[in-house]
Chains A and B, each alone.
Chain A
Amino acid sequence: MLAAIFLLLACQLIGEALHRITGLALPGSVIGMVLLLGWLALVRRERPTLSAVSGWLTAHLSIMFVPAAVGLMQEGSALSRYGLGLALATGVSTVLTIVVTALVFRWALRRFTPDEVGKRPVQPAERGA
């Protein structure tokens, strides 16, 4: 358990250090994620505890960003001024991104990996699916 927590903190620490030393604009935690990926590829073994710890963190992500979201109380003027633009830009961008990603995926699947097209895991039409 402690070893898994250490691994996560060590990757983040090195990530934050690299972020500061190199001036790389990637956030330290994202660099840490890439470092951990490298470590998992380098030292191959079953890691049930690491899966459990990272799974626990992911399962409780929502409450971790409550303190930041509450910070909106200081952003009242930005919200009242750009609220409409923010809502519109976010909504349109979200829908557009879904459409573009799905279309490119389908096109590339047929164009570059024809073997995989047949493996399509078709499932019975589910209600609301």
Chain B
Amino acid sequence: MSALTDLLATPLLWLAVTLGVFEIFERRSHRSGRHPLCHPVLWTTPVLITLLWATGTPYADYKADTFLLSFLLGPAVVGLAVPIWAQRERIKRLAVPIVLSLAAGAVSSVVSAIGILSLFGAPAEILASIAPRATTTPVAMAIAEQLGGVPALAACIVLFAGIAGAMTATPLLNAMKFDDYRPRGFALGVSAHGFGAARAFQVSETAGAFASLGMALNAVMTAALLSLLAALL
């Protein structure tokens, strides 16, 4: 029996369970045509929380066992340079609209999120967790941690923002009579990161390319903006 107890002290169990549960929901998401509400993280997270709770496993143990997965976020963020570089010609041609709308989008995202949440009397650590809500999850978690927020909360806020953006963008932009897929895609990527990009690719190739660009650029822009704010305050 003690042989099995030793096994439980290795990361194998929770790594395997995480991959297995994720894969189940990943397949369901694929079958749904990648509907935002079927995002695998949305379903994997509560199932794992339930399993940890049912087995009396402390979160710290789970976190240590799945460190391998979290570690990969860093190199993944560095790798976002590759798609930005691949789109350099497009960035050069449309530099002015891209830079101005990126700056406007990043500022309105941070100001509106913090502004509304502070009306509810939220403390600084919660505000710091929502500030990077428009960036892609790994960047949002890194920024939140940097600002003294809660990375887990930031991850969930970003997830929710992605779902909200992916579900509202199309009717919203149609109502505003946007028939150019460049601003449409770019806005979706700036505000709703990877979810926005995934949604934009379903609509048009152009929108998708601009959405990926918006996501990657806003990761840098919001990080820079919030760093500057943090340094000033």
Contact = CB atoms under 8 A, between A and B. Distances in A.
A69 B130 contact: no
A70 B40 CA distance: 13
Given A33-B80, A70-B62, A25 B108 contact: no
A24 B133 CA distance: 21
Interface in A53-89: 53-55, 57-58, 60-75, 78-79, 82, 84-89
A113 B96 contact: yes
Interface residues of A, number: 83
Contacts of A100: 101, 104-105, 108
Given A90-B161, A129-B203, A98 B41 contact: no
A88 B115 CA distance: 11
Name A's interface SS.
helix
Given A53-B79, A54-B80, A82-B122, A71 B151 contact: yes
Contacts of A17: none
Interface of B: 18-19, 22, 26, 39-41, 44-45, 48-49, 52-53, 59, 62-63, 66-67, 69-70, 72-86, 93-94, 96-98, 100-102, 104-105, 108-109, 112-117, 119-120, 122, 126, 130, 133-134, 136-139, 141-143, 145-147, 150-153, 155-157, 159-161, 164-165, 168-170, 172-174, 176, 178-184, 186-188, 190-192, 194, 203-204, 206, 214, 219-220, 223-224, 226-228, 230-231
Given A36-B78, A64-B70, A101-B101, A75 B153 contact: yes
Given A24-B227, A61-B76, A93 B126 contact: no
Contacts of A57: 72, 75-76, 79
A69 B45 contact: yes
B182 A29 contact: no
Given A33-B81, A73-B59, A97 B109 contact: yes
Contacts of A123: 181, 204, 206
A97 B112 contact: yes
Given A30-B139, A89-B113, A97-B191, A102 B49 contact: no
Contacts of B69: 63-64, 66-67
Contacts of B173: 98, 102
Contacts, number: 354
B157 A98 contact: no
Interface of A: 5, 8-9, 11-12, 15, 24-30, 32-37, 40-41, 47, 50-51, 53-55, 57-58, 60-75, 78-79, 82, 84-106, 108-109, 112-113, 116, 120-123, 126, 128-129
Most buried by B among A11, A40, A61, A72: A61
A78 to B, nearest CB: 6
